[in-house]
Structure 1
Amino acid sequence: MNIRRGREADLPQVLALIQELAEYEQAPQEVTNTLADMQRDGFGPEPIFKFFVAEDAAGIIIGIALYYTAYSTWKGRMLFLEDLVVTENQRGTGLGRKLFDAVVAEARHMGANRMKWQVLKWNEPAIGFYKKLGAHLDPEWDNGNLSHEQLHTYACDPTVEAAVTGPIE
């Protein structure tokens, strides 16, 4: 198996692994991301994510680690690991560790002061994986989200929204 930086040509296989993860998490209907979205957001004029892939000897992608740079008001630059996915028949082979190691190495290389990720409370195999690596899973924080629909129906203060969407000074 080979770990390398992701390329645009990898995106169809990456999206398939994302859909496999959604099936595992019993939420396949929640994936609204498209290949065009990923091409724009990862390889367009302002890329907002990067990823590593694990591929087998035949060049089939069997794992991904998708991440992006974030910023902590307390700690500064940080790396957020959005998803670490290993195809089902490759779990337990050490592949997840290699992908995690690649992301840790990237965080060090970019000068990050912190690396964060989330794990579902019911996902015992993933929790065990992260604990085995010595990671701290923080029980004090809850996640906040607004869905696509909620974003578009949320009542922003009109003067604030005009200031944000107006011309850039």
Structure 2
Amino acid sequence: MKIELRKATDKDIPAIFGLIRELAIYEDGLDRVTNSEEQMQAEKDFYNCYLAEHDGKIIGMALYYFAYYTWVGKSLYLDDLFVKEEYRGKKIGSQLMQKMMDVAREEKCSRLRLQVLNWNSSAIEFYKKSGFMIDQEWYNCDYIDF
């Protein structure tokens, strides 16, 4: 299977948002998605995305942004790594992850960080095999009442 990885453009926002919705459904969180294609277009300077294509069809993505952490400095934060269900198990996620590692190196990042749900054992194993340390100490803390 020939997979092309490419940087997303503005015209890809509808497809990216579709993948975000698919991921939210997989994570049983669609009701918590408040983002929209319009918002993504307006906020496009705050994120980057690589897409995986097969025969011209977008089948996966790695959506990321750069962050600064006081202990380590510039970091790449991988917000979503997602491959459509029918294409999983074909090393597409591994290709996208390698691209993120390459981008982090090229951008002179000190760390590549991501989150994984504690029940997603296949993702946890994938991240461990990719060399990630899974932290059991820190909790996510969100304030959303603006």
The TM-score bracket by the shorter chain reads: over 0.9
Quick one: distance in 2 between partners of 1:50 and 1:60? 19
* Deviation for aligned residue 1:32: 1.2
Q: What do residues 75-100 of structure 1 show as CA deviations (whole Å, max 9, x unaligned)?
A: 11111000101001011110000001
Match in the other structure for 1:48: 46
- Percent sequence identity is 41
Root-mean-square deviation (CA), in Å?
0.8
Higher strand content, 1 or 2: 2
Quick one: distance in 2 between partners of 1:103 and 1:24? 22
Match in the other structure for 2:31: 29
The amino acid of 1:54's aligned partner reads A
Which blocks of at least 5 consecutive residues in structure 1 are unaligned? 153-169
Matches within 5 A, 1:48-87: 48-57=46-55, 59-87=56-84
* Deviation for aligned residue 1:74: 1.1
Q: TM-score, normalised by structure 2?
A: 0.96
Which blocks of at least 5 consecutive residues in structure 2 are unaligned? none
The amino acid of 1:48's aligned partner reads F
- Corresponding position: 1:128 with 2:130: no
The amino acid of 1:89's aligned partner reads E
Q: What do residues 131-162 of structure 1 show as CA deviations (whole Å, max 9, x unaligned)?
A: 11121111111100012xx2x2xxxxxxxxxx
Q: How many residues align?
A: 144
Matches within 5 A, 1:1-169: 1-42=3-44, 47-57=45-55, 59-147=56-144, 150=145, 152=146
Q: TM-score, normalised by structure 1?
A: 0.83
Quick one: distance in 1 between partners of 2:68 and 2:108? 12
**Which contiguous aligned blocks of 4+ residues in structure 1 show a shift greater than 4 angstroms?**
none
